[in-house]
């Protein structure tokens, strides 16, 4: 069965510092996408960043970047220069394989990030 594991239920970071959230997954696929979503207290799900597995280069979106280790099946999210607005639940997600299509996502249990001023 495909699984996504986030081993850190809660993390804390000082404002302006850097924090890394971990995610591992299990798959037999060779080509896929990985995602990080943010859920602030408003409950809205916001796509933060995505990674294409066949690309060697790690994805970057402004202060957010990933460390993608395909062989280790690891997909961590690094947040640089943390801001108070980064406080939220963060979910790692991986596409469910249904007959070769990968359009539905499965999620990890999430990491609650607190940002201290």
Q: Does position 41 bind another protein by CB under 8 A?
A: no
Query: From CA 2, how far away is CA 106, in angstroms rounded?
Result: 8
Query: From CA 7, how far away is CA 71, in angstroms rounded?
Result: 19
Q: Does position 96 bind another protein by CB under 8 A?
A: yes
Among 24, 70, 105, 114, binds another protein (CB under 8 A): 105
Q: Does position 44 bind another protein by CB under 8 A?
A: yes
Among 45, 60, 63, 81, binds another protein (CB under 8 A): 45
Query: From CA 72, how far away is CA 46, in angstroms rounded?
Result: 26
**Identity of the residue, 86 or 108, whose beta carbon is nearer to another protein in the bound complex:** 108
Task: Tell me if residue 86 falls in helix, strand or coil.
Answer: helix
Q: How far, in whole angstroms, is CA 35 from its chain's centroid?
A: 5
User: Could you give the string, one character per residue 53-72, with x where binding to another protein holds by CB under 8 A and - elsewhere?
Assistant: --------------------
């Amino acid at each position: 069965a495909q699984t996504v594991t986030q081993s850190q239920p809660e993390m804390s970071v000082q404002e302006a510092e850097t924090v890394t959230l971990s995610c591992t997954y299990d798959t037999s696929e060779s080509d896929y996408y990985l995602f990080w979503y943010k859920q602030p207290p408003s409950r809205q799900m916001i796509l933060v960043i995505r990674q294409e597995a066949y690309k060697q280069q790690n994805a970057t979106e402004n202060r957010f970047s990933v460390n993608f280790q395909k062989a280790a099946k690891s997909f961590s999210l690094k947040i640089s220069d943390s801001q108070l607005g980064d406080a939220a639940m963060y979910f790692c997600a991986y596409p469910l394989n249904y007959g070769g299509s990968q359009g539905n996502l499965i999620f990890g249990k999430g990491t609650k990030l607190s940002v201290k001023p």
